[in-house]
């Protein structure tokens, strides 16, 4: 069996033996190349999710976490797609730590 021939053959036309051979060959190729992370800088990043995640991060209540998010103070740390909220925890803490008026 030639790999090139099997790669061009539709899966529904393969015999079980051909499919298993191709599958094993694909697995052998992936074992020789360990997966590399896309970006090393993202490796150490910590994320929290949702308003509950913001509340745990800042050690506050859900309504207070809502106020923090709505204030715009940590907007650069937030990625929101629809209702899903993803927050870069380190950046949010850094942004919230800067004084810019208000009480306190």
Q: What is the pLDDT of residues 11-20, one digit of tens each?
A: 888 888 888 8
CA distance 32 to 30: 5
Percent of the chain whose pLDDT exceeds 70: 75
pLDDT at 92: 94
The whole-number average pLDDT for the span 51-67 is 94
41: left (phi over 0), alpha (psi -120 to 50) or beta: alpha
More confident residue, 12 or 53: 53
Q: How much is the pLDDT for 24?
A: 80
The residue among 44 and 31 whose pLDDT is bigger is 44
Q: Of the candidates 60, 48, 57, which has an alpha carbon nearest to the alpha carbon of residue 85?
A: 48
How does DSSP classify residue 59?
A: T
Q: In 3D, which of 47, 31, 33, 26 has the Cα closest to residue 89?
A: 47
């Amino acid at each position: 069996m030639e790999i090139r021939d099997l790669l061009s053959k539709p899966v529904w036309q393969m015999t079980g033996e051909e499919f298993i051979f191709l599958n094993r060959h694909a697995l052998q190729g992936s074992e020789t190349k360990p997966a590399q992370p896309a970006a090393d800088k993202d490796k150490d990043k910590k994320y929290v999710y949702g308003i509950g995640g913001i509340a745990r991060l800042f050690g506050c209540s859900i309504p207070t976490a809502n106020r923090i998010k709505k204030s715009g103070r940590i907007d650069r740390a937030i990625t929101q797609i629809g209702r899903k909220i993803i927050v870069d925890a380190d950046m949010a803490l850094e942004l919230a730590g800067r004084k810019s008026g208000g009480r306190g």
